[in-house]
Amino acid sequence: GWYPLIFCLTDLCSSLGGSDCIKANAKSCGECIQAGPNCGWCKKTVSDFLQEGEPTSARCDDLAALKSKGCPLEDIENPRGNKQLLENREVTNRKKGAAEKLRPEAITQIQPQKLSLLLRVGEPQTFSLKFKRAEDYPIDLYYLMDLSYSMKDDLENVKSLGTALMLEMEKITSDFRIGFGSFVEKTVMPYISTTPAKLRNPCTGDQNCTSPFSYKNVLSLTSEGNKFNELVGKQHISGNLDSPEGGFDAIMQVAVCGEQIGWRNVTRLLVFSTDAGFHFAGDGKLGGIVLPNDGKCHLENNVYTMSHYYDYPSIAHLVQKLSENNIQTIFAVTEEFQAVYKELKNLIPKSAVGTLSSNSSNVIQLIIDAYNSLSSEVILENTKLPKGVTISYKSFCKNGVNGTQEEGRKCSNISIGDEVIFEINITANECPKKEQNETIKIKPLGFTEELEINLQFICECQCQSEGEPNSPACHAGNGTFECGACRCNEGRIGRLCECSTDEVNSEDMDAYCRRENSTEICSNNGECICGQCVCKKRENTNEVYSGKYCECDNFNCDRSNGLICGGNGICKCRVCECFPNFTGSACDCSLDTAPCMASNGQICNGRGTCECGTCNCTDPKFQGPTCEMCQTCVGVCAEHKDCVQCRAFDKGEKKETCSQECMHFNMTRVESRDKLPQPGQPDPLSHCKEKDVDDCWFYFTYSVNSNGEANVHVVETPECPSGPDIIPIVAGVVAGIVLIGLALLLIWKLLMIIHDRREFAKFEKEKMNAKWDTGENPIYKSAVTTVVNPKYEGK
């Protein structure tokens, strides 16, 4: 077949991919392509590709490295995987009530239907799967009811369920079938009473109940609602001893007895109606039943006959069988057991739980709601993958909702007619031991349609099938010559299978692996195998030993700026082979003269030589990167400014002697500086800006052509600075003096105000603190004298 070749051109790919390829130490092309998706094998003959001392495994490398080593594109084996659509029918576009009535198997809801993948190790193959919910898709619904005594009032409502449910389901599909089954419990102690009277009528008092049973298929799936009402109307309640019921036995038989139940390849709904819990695997030991449920159909005359022989199925067993048979389960249970069955729902994919009223009067609405919930979600599942194969999903759902990892398997809120896309990625991480083809299947849970994928594996190269067994090229037929190298027969070794493992004497062979006047075997850089040096590999896979005695390598050349060969050459056998325009032992000497070009267009200003991209100035007065700097030189501009000034403007120091001293150049006047010659012309050119005797600037250029003639171009109008404007200056000075005087006056006035206020405050304070003395004058004497008679007694 034809395989495309893909090259990895980035340095990162080379360093990472090449490392994996070389570390694989592949001895054949098949081993090489299994090392990684970027590994290729060069099948060019030994003498044309491998360097002396290189092992056969050096043929395996990343594609860019093989190409750089000189392996032609047509000699690189690099098979790629691909995908091929084998069956790809379009999804069905169908409207309810249309005249066209399709058989269920003719309706398509997933696309494609069959696919073939050719897988190479490490290379993922990606494809898209489309799912579209078809309108008016047929539905089979089986009503499985608990007929223990507690469900007596529920049975009365279910008896008319057939026709009523038919009418409601006609709004969803025109192809609807319904069936009915009932269950009670295993017919052994301690689940039921085994006394003869209780076996005839397990109910107490005058209640007329039917004999206990495990599971009974009352009505296989039918489109006749009246028949459902008729047969269910003949059913009678039964009874048992314990509260949990044997519903798991019934579910298992409904799932696996497809022919008896009458399941079609359409939407399959199982409504499980009860008001009690459930027995599961292990509970059968109470009745002496130890054999695990075998998951097979055991209906005789529509009755489960092995309930006393096999234990209840486990939840995992039920999940497996319900999934295998694409049955979606609706648990219609009373409020009391909602929590239990919701936990069970989490373990059973594509199942729903609804709350059943005490007498089942809401069962029709419960079924409609649960169906809408189940059908609005699509979940993909796949069969068991072969060893070493992985699969990942990405979903593109409605309203831009995307999912990855586990969420990538599902889409929710899907209405009839909606399309969703799943991107599926399958990768082989190793080749199967027998290289056989494998088949896996992907399908939406609860649907019968599936995508079948045939997996084929690329484990060998195409050139291996063209190999020549017992080839003369492999030392007289001691190996198979394939893919440019010898694959030795058992017991033979060596690059050309030239040695036998039984006959090799290492001491004799070592002599062939030593250089003259040397005791080192393979220069201590390899091992001697069959009289030939096989050079060892370095930890850095880009560093390689080579040569007859492994005396060469590509990493011990001279370095510059920390790089081998300065990054400007290739290291071959410890000697740098420089790229064009570079020379030197480390390729650090550039032959490019551009860095030496002076501003006047001359190499090193005509005053030095360009060596390795740097100027070596021969004139000791000049220095700098381009020999243009001269600290002791009078500049060209300063040297010629007086002559230019006298000739162009008739002034300056040489005005009187201008005609004698300044006629050695040709002068041209130009209108402005823009008209002066610009750098880049062949003749060396200097731009000058000088001041004249009037402090005006004048501009000119000075150049010397190839004939030695000096040429001056001068701007005819100098740039003179304008004089100062006296009036604004005087006005500014006067205004400044006035403003300063006003400022000083204001400051003096402010200080005086502050001083006066302080003095007044001091006065007020002293005034408040003043006190008047109220004592009598010591020299004052009253004019009146009062005399008291000592003898007077007041009588």
Report the pLDDT value the prediction gives residue 745, as an integer from 0 to 100.
93
Helix 315-324 to helix 338-347 angle (10° resolution) is: 60
Whole-number Cα distances in Å, 493 to 426, 479, 490: 39, 9, 8
Residue 313 has pLDDT above 90, yes or no: yes
Asked if 588 contacts 560 with a C-beta cutoff of 8 angstroms, the reply is yes
Q: Which two tokens stand for residue 21?
A: 């390829």
Tell me the two tokens of residue 100.
């066209």
Q: Are 631 and 649 in contact (CB under 8 A)?
A: no
Q: Across residues 7-13, what is the average pLDDT? A: 36
Which pLDDT tens digit goes with each residue over 692-744?
888 888 888 888 776 667 888 898 888 887 766 788 888 989 999 999 999 99
18: confidence class by pLDDT, cuts 50, 70, 90: very low
Q: Is a pLDDT exceeding 50 seen at residue 6?
A: no
Which tops the pLDDT comparison, 488 or 622?
488
pLDDT at 7: 34
What pLDDT, on a 0 to 100 scale, did the predictor assign at position 350?
84
Q: Each residue of 383-419: pLDDT tens digit?
A: 889 888 999 999 998 888 888 888 888 888 888 888 8
Which residue's structure tokens are 């100098």?
718
Reported as a single tens digit per residue, the pLDDT across 46-73 is 556 777 767 778 888 888 888 887 888 8
Confidence tier at 15 by pLDDT (50, 70, 90): very low
Spatial CB neighbours of 421, under 8 Å, sequence gap ≥ 6: 128, 129, 130, 131, 395, 396
Mean pLDDT calculated for residue range 636-652: 85
Which pLDDT band holds residue 534 (cuts at 50, 70, 90)? confident
Residues in the chain: 795
Helix (H, G, I), strand (E, B), or coil: what is residue 569? strand
> Average pLDDT for residues 29-36, to the nearest whole number?
88
Q: Nearest CA to 455 among 404, 405, 384?
A: 384
At 200-212, the pLDDT tens digits run 777 776 777 888 8
**The pLDDT value given to residue 780:** 73
The percentage of the chain sitting over the pLDDT mark of 90, rounded to a whole number, equals 17
What's the rounded mean pLDDT across residues 580-593? 87
Distance CA 523, CA 545 (A): 10
Give the pLDDT mean for 19-32.
82
Q: How far apart are CA 418 and CA 425, in angstroms?
A: 23
The sign one gets for the Cα dihedral 674, 680, 683, 684 is positive
* Contact between 492 and 500 (Cβ < 8 Å): yes
Of residues 135 and 359, more confidently modeled: 135
Tell the residue number behind the tokens 């990054």, with chain if given. Answer: 567
Percent of all residues in the chain with a pLDDT value above 70, rounded to a whole number: 90
CA separation for the pair 122, 333 (Å, rounded)? 50
Residues whose CB is less than 8 angstroms from the CB of residue 331 and which lie 6 or more positions away in sequence, other chains included = 272, 341, 344, 345, 351, 352, 353, 354
Q: Does the pLDDT value for residue 622 go beyond 80?
A: no
Phi, psi of 537 (to 5 degrees): -100, 145
Looking at residue 503, its pLDDT comes to: 63
Name residues whose C-beta falls within 8 Å of residue 736's C-beta, 6 or more positions apart in sequence. Answer: none
Per-residue confidence at 98, pLDDT binned at 50, 70, 90?
A: low
pLDDT for 5 equals 34
Residues 214-224: what's their mean pLDDT? 90
Is 646's pLDDT higher than 80?
yes
Statement: residue 636 has pLDDT above 80: no
Q: Which token pair is 651? A: 């002034």
Written as six digits, the tokens of 453 are 């994928």
Average pLDDT of the chain? 82
Which range (308-322, 445-459, 598-612) has the least confidence?
598-612
CA atoms within 13 A on the CB side of 640: 26
How confident is residue 116, by pLDDT bands cut at 50, 70 and 90? very high
User: Are 635 and 690 contacting, i.e. CB atoms less than 8 angstroms apart?
Assistant: no
pLDDT digits (tens, 9 = 90+) for 344-373: 999 988 888 888 776 667 778 888 888 888
Weakest-pLDDT range from 189-198, 541-550, 643-652, 677-686: 677-686
> Do 432 and 388 meet the contact criterion of CB atoms below 8 Å apart?
yes
Structure tokens at 217: 């298929």
Two tokens, residue 518: 């040397």
Q: Cβ(263)–Cβ(140) under 8 Å? A: yes
**Mean pLDDT along residues 471-489:** 83
3-state class (DSSP) for residue 286: helix
HSE-CB at 413 with a 13 A cutoff on CA atoms is 7
The pLDDT-based confidence of 771 (bands split at 50, 70, 90) is: low
pLDDT, average across residues 175-188 = 87
- For residue 223, the tally of other CB atoms under 10 A from its CB is 12
C-alpha 526, offset from chain centre: 41
Q: What is the pLDDT of residue 506?
A: 58
